[in-house]
A and B are shown apart, each in its own frame.
Chain A
Amino acid sequence: MNTAASRRIGLAAGAGITLAFIMMAVVASFWTPYDPAGIDIAGKLSSPSAQHWFGTDQLGRDVLSMIMASARGSVGVAFFSTGLGLVLGVPLGLIAAARSGWVDEFIMRGNDLLFAFPSLLLAILLTAGFGPGALNACIAIGVFNIPVFARVTRGAALRIWTQDFSMAARVAGKGPLRISVEHVLPNLLTLLTVQATIQFSLGVVAEAGLSYLGIGVQPPTPSWGRMLSDAQTLTALAPSLALFPGLAVALFVLGLTLLSSGLRPQRER
C-alpha cells in the first residue's frame, strides 16, 4: 500500500480513537447509564446482557458506567501531568539552549538527576509521603515529564540556534529571549505536539499502574487500574471483569500511539 495513504488512515484512526475516549470522559461527567458507584448486591457478577452491556462486578456495579467514569480520571491525570511537563520542561530546555555554559550545565545535570530515579518508585514514594489521590498522581507523573520535554526542546532548539536565520535575528538586535519565543519555539511546535501525545499515552499507562497499586485515583471514583486489581481475584469466576478495563487502556494507548506517529513530520527528502 501507498505509504502516504496508510499514514492518513493511521492518523485518522488514532485521532478517532483518542477523540472517542475524550468524549467518553466528557459525557461521563454528566451522564452514565447507571451510577458507577451504585451497589446492587442482588445483581452482582452478572455477565454482559441487554441491561448491563459489559455486565456487573462483585458489588453489582455496572461495568460500562465504571469504564466511562474511569476515563475522566485517566484523561485528567494524563492531561495535567503532560501539561506540567510542557509548562516547566519546555522553558527549561529553551533557556538551556539559549544560554550555554553553566546555566545549560546546571539545568541539564538537574534533569539527569531526575532521570536517574526509577519513576514509578519515586511516584510511590511521593504518594506515600503526601497521601494517595489523583492530584498527587498528576504531580508524581508530571515531574518525570519535565526532563523529557527539557531534553527534546534543548536538542531541537540547539539545531535552530545554529541556523543562519537565528544569526540574522541577532544581527537585527534581538536578544536570546525574544529569539527563543519568535523563532525557536514556533519551529518546535510539531515536535512538541508529537512528544506531548507520547507522554499523554505514557501518562494513561502510569495512572492505571498507580491506581492498580491503590495509590492513584481513590474510591469511590472508579479507575481502570483499580478495576483490574479488583478483577484479579475473580478471574476464574468472571473473566470479563478484567477484560473490559484492560481493553480500554490498550485501545486508548493504541489510539494515542497511532496519533503521535501520524503527526510526526515525514522524513524530508
Chain B
Amino acid sequence: MQIDGLEISIGGARILDGVCLELRAGEILGLVGASGSGKSMTALAITQLLPRNAHLRGSIRLRGDALTAKSEAELCRIRGRDIGIVFQEPMTALNPLMRIGDQVTETVRLHSGASETDAVRMTRTAFARVGLGDDPESLQRYPHELSGGGRQRVAIAMAVVLEPVLLIADEPTTALDVTTQAQVLALLEDLVRTTGMGLVLITHDMAVIGATTTQVAVMHNGKIVERGATAQILREPRDPYAKELLAAAYLAPKQRSSKSEPSRAISAPAIFEAREIVREYPRRRRSLWAASPPLRAVDGVSLKIHPGETVGLIGETGSGKSSLLRVMLALDRPRSGEVHLLGEVFTAARGAALRRLRRSIQAVFQDPYASFDPQWSVERVVAEPFHLLDAGLSHAERRHKVALALERVGLSAADAGRYPREFSGGQRQRIAIARALITEPAVIAFDEAVSALDVLVRAQILRLLAELNAGSSLAILFVSHDLSVVRSIADRVYVMHRGRIVEEGYTEAVFASPREAYTSALIAATPTMA
C-alpha cells in the first residue's frame, strides 16, 4: 500500500512542476509551504478533484493503480472509500441541515453498499474512534450544535469510517484554537497508528509538522525544494528556502530590554488602563414574558499598559478578547467599568475630547483584505485618521506625512498613489500599520494582526513592530490566540478565559511557571519545533 512516484505538472500557467512524493502505510507526510506554493493543488491532484481547466501530466498511483487513468465513475468509488479527505473549514465541509450521524452513514452506504443497520453500526464505531461518543444521541446532533473541534471530528469520522488507505488533511487545524488543535492532531496520529493508513498533512505551520510528521516535503512555487525525514530537515535544512521558512517559524522569546524592567514599568503611570470592564450582549428572549439573562462576554476585566510597553492579551475563540478590545477602543459602551487613556476617562469622553483622545489610540485589524475600502487609494486610506485633527491639513502637508508613515513601515512614498488590492497580504498589513501611525498615537492595538499571514511575512511584520516599539514611548496592545507570537513580542501578558483575566505577569515568568491550570494547558497544547 503506497503512493509511488507522484509527478504532476499543470498546464497553462504552470502551478505544479515535477512534484514527486512517496508515502508508505502508517506514515505521516507533511506538506509545508507558503500560501500559493501548490500544497492544496497537490492534494486536489491526488483526489483528482482538479478544476476543469487544469491539465495534468505525470502519474499518481495508489497501491500501484494509476489514478490518472480512471474514469470519473471509478474515481467516485475511490474517493471516500480508499482516499479520505479533511478540509480546513469544518463549518462548510458539513451540510448544516443534516444530522451528523446521517452524513457519515450516507458516505458509508454510498461507497460500500452496506445495509442501513450495518452503516449505522460503522458510523457509531467511527464516532467512538474520533471521540464523539457512540451513543445514539450524539449521532442525532446537527453541525451547529458542535464546536469547531467537534465539527472537525465529524469530518474526520466521515473520512476514516471506511478505513481508507490514504487520508489527506488540508490545513485541518488552522481554523482551530491551540487546545483543540492539539486534540485533533493527537487524534490523527492515533488513527494512523491504529489503522495503518497513510496520512498527508498539509499545513503552513512548521511547529505542527515538527510535532506530528515523520516525513516532510517543503514546497515553493509549485516545486518540491526539499524532501526527507522530518527530524533531519528541521535540524539541518539544505535548501535555502527551507532554511528561510524554518528560521521564520522559530520565534525567539522576547529578550527583556532595559526599558521594560519591572521597576521602571511600574513606576511610570499607565497611559492606557481598563478598570473592571463588564460588557454584556442581550440574548434572544425565551418568550414574550421571560427575558433571558444577557450574555456576559467581558466580566470585570482590568488591565494596564505603560508607555513603551508591549502587552499581550492571549485568549481562545470566544474568550471575550475582541469584545474587550471594542470597548477599549471606545467603539462599544461597557455596561460598567471605565477605560482611562492618558489619565482621562475615554469611555465617557464626547465630542472634541473624544476626538483628541482617539488620536492617541489607533488599531490594526486581523484581515488585511478587509481592512481597506476597496475604492480608496493608499494615500486616502493612510490619511483617514487625519479626520481626528481639529484643523485640516494642507494637501502638501498631508502628502508629506503619508509619505513619512509609508517609509516608516518599509514601503515607499510612491506607493501612496496605488490601491491596496495591488499589494500582498504582508504589504497590506504594513499599510494598516502606517494608517495607525499617522496620528502619532501613544498606543496601537493589534487584533490578531499577524494571524492571517504566512510565516515568512509574519516574521517580517513582527520585526517591524519590534523596531517601531524599540526606543520610543509607543505602547502596543497585542491581542492574539497564538502563544508563540505573543511570547516573541510581549513584555507582559494577560491570559483571558471566559470573559475574565485568569493570569497576568511578565511574559517569561508566565511562560516558565504558569500559576493557573488553564494557562499551563494552553502552553502545553502549543506545538513546538523542538
Indicate if the CB atoms of A168 and B374 lie closer than 8 Å: no
Q: Are B370 and A173 in contact (CB under 8 A)?
A: no
A171 touches B385 (CB 8 A): yes
Nearest chain B CB to A224 CB, angstrom units: 40
Q: Kindly provide the distance from the CB of B452 to the nearest chain A CB, expressed in whole angstroms.
A: 11
Residues of A contacting B362 in the complex (Cβ-Cβ under 8 angstroms): 171
Name the CB-closest residue of B to A163. Answer: B370
Q: Kindly name the residue among B363, B366, B432 whose own CB sees the greatest number of chain A CB atoms within 10 A.
A: B363
B372 x A173 contact (CB < 8 A): no
What are 9 pairs between A and B in contact, CB < 8 Å? A165-B370, A168-B372, A168-B432, A171-B329, A171-B331, A171-B358, A172-B385, A173-B354, A186-B373
Q: Interface residue tally of chain A, by bracket?
A: 10 to 19
A187 to B388, CA, bound (A): 23
Check if A173 sits within 8 Å of B388, measured CB to CB.
Answer: yes
Would A186 and B331 count as touching, CB distance under 8 A? no
Q: Which of A164, A170, A186 has the most chain B CB atoms closer than 10 A to its own CB?
A: A164
Q: Are A168 and B387 in contact (CB under 8 A)?
A: no
A172's contact among B365, B370, B388, by CB below 8 Å, is which? Answer: B388
**Smallest CB separation, A193 vs chain B (Å):** 14
- From known contacts A168-B363, A171-B358, infer whether A187 and B371 are also in contact, taking CB-CB under 8 Å: no
In the complex, A169 has a CB within 8 A of chain B: yes
A-B pairs, 5 with minimum CB distance:
A164-B365, A172-B385, A164-B371, A164-B370, A173-B388
The complex places the Cα of A168 from the Cα of B329 at a distance, in Å, of 10
**Does residue A183 face the partner (Cβ distance < 8 Å to B)?**
yes
Tell me the complex Cα distance, A235–B413, Å.
73
A167 with B355, Cβ < 8 A, contacts A173-B385, A173-B388 known: no
Contact mask B49-92 → A, CB, 8 Å, 1/0?
A: 00000000000000000000000000000000000000000000
CB distance from B92 to the nearest CB of A (A): 16
Report how far A171 CA is from B358 CA in the complex, Å. 7
Report the bound CA distance from A174 to B387 in whole Å. Answer: 7
Known contacts: A172-B387, A173-B385, A173-B387. The answer to whether A167 contacts B363 by CB under 8 A is yes
Report which residue of B370, B372, B373, B374 has the largest number of chain A beta carbons within 10 angstroms of its beta carbon: B373
- Complex CA gap A168/B385 in Å reads 9
Q: Is B503 an interface residue (CB 8 A)?
A: no
Contacts of A183 in B (CB 8 A): 373
Complex Cα spacing A100 to B331, Å: 14
Is there an interface contact between A172 and B384, defined as CB atoms closer than 8 Å?
Answer: yes
Asked if residues B370 and A169 are in contact (CB atoms below 8 Å), the reply is no
Contacts of A171 in B (CB 8 A): 329, 331, 358, 361-363, 385
- With most chain B CB atoms within 10 A of its CB, the pick from A165, A178, A187 is A165
**Nearest CB in chain B: distance from A4 CB, A:** 13
Neighbouring A residues of B432 by C-beta, 8 Å = 168
A residues apposed to B, CB below 8 Å: 163-165, 167-174, 178, 182-183, 186-187
**Main secondary structure on A side of the interface with B:** helix
Chain B contact-residue range equals 20 to 34
Closest chain-B Cβ to A15's Cβ sits at a distance in Å of: 23
Question: Contacts A164-B365, A164-B366 known; A170 to B331 CB distance under 8 Å?
Answer: yes
- Does residue B106 face the partner (Cβ distance < 8 Å to A)? no
Residues of B352-397 at the interface with A, using a CB-CB cut-off of 8 Å, are 354-355, 358, 361-363, 365-367, 370-375, 384-385, 387-388
A133 to B387, CA, bound (A): 49
Neighbouring B residues of A170 by C-beta, 8 Å: 329, 331
Q: Which of B331, B372, B374, B384 gathers the greatest number of chain A CB atoms within 10 Å? A: B384
A164, B387: Cβ atoms closer than 8 Å: no
Of B354, B361, B367, B375, the contact of A164 (CB 8 Å cutoff): B367
Query: Of B355, B370, B374, which is in contact with the most chain A CB atoms at under 10 Å from its CB?
Result: B370
* A165 to B365 alpha-carbon distance, docked (Å): 9
Complex contacts, A173 vs chain B, CB 8 Å: 354-355, 358, 385, 387-388
B375: A residues at CB distance < 8 A: 186-187
Per the bound structure, the CA–CA distance linking A183 and B363 in Å amounts to: 18
Residues of B within 8 A of A169 (CB): 384
Knowing that A164-B370, A165-B373, A167-B363 are A-B contacts, what are 8 other residue pairs whose CB atoms are under 8 Å apart, sorted by A's residue number? A163-B370, A165-B371, A168-B365, A169-B384, A171-B363, A172-B388, A173-B358, A173-B388
CA distance A164 to B367 in the complex (A): 7
Chain A residues near B371 (CB, 8 Å)?
A: 164-165, 168
| B367 engages A168 (CB within 8 Å) | no
User: Which residues does chain B contribute within 8 Å of A164, judged by CB atoms?
Assistant: 365-367, 370-371
Does B321 touch A at the CB level, under 8 Å? no
Task: Give the docked Cα–Cα distance between A170 and B371 (Å).
Answer: 12
* CB-based contact B384/A167 at 8 Å: no
Given contacts A173-B388, A187-B375, contact A168 B331 (CB under 8 A): no
* Complex Cα–Cα for A83 and B33 (A): 53
In angstroms, how far is the closest chain A Cβ from the Cβ of B398?
14
Residues of B within 8 A of A167 (CB): 331, 363, 365
User: Does residue B279 face the partner (Cβ distance < 8 Å to A)?
Assistant: no
Residues of B within 8 A of A165 (CB): 370-373
A23 to chain B, nearest CB (A): 32
Cα distance A165–B363 in the bound complex, in angstroms = 11
Contact present for A168 and B384 (CB under 8 Å) = yes
**CB-based nearest B residue for A167:** B365
Residues of the A chain whose Cβ atoms lie less than 8 Å from the Cβ of B492: none
- Closest residue of chain B to A175 (Cβ to Cβ) is B387
Q: Does B124 contact A (CB under 8 A)?
A: no
In the assembled complex, the Cα of A63 lies from the Cα of B505 at a distance in Å of 88
Q: Is B153 an interface residue (CB 8 A)?
A: no
Please report the C-alpha to C-alpha distance between residue A173 and residue B354 in the assembled complex, in whole angstroms. Answer: 8
- Give chain B nearest CB distance to A118 CB in angstroms: 31
A129 to B331, CA, bound (A): 49
| Bound CA–CA A159/B331 (angstroms) | 18
**What distance in Å separates the Cβ of A188 from its nearest Cβ neighbour in chain B?**
11
| Residue B435 is within 8 A (CB to CB) of chain A in the complex | yes
Given the complex of chains A and B, what is the CA–CA distance between A168 and B371 in angstroms?
Answer: 7
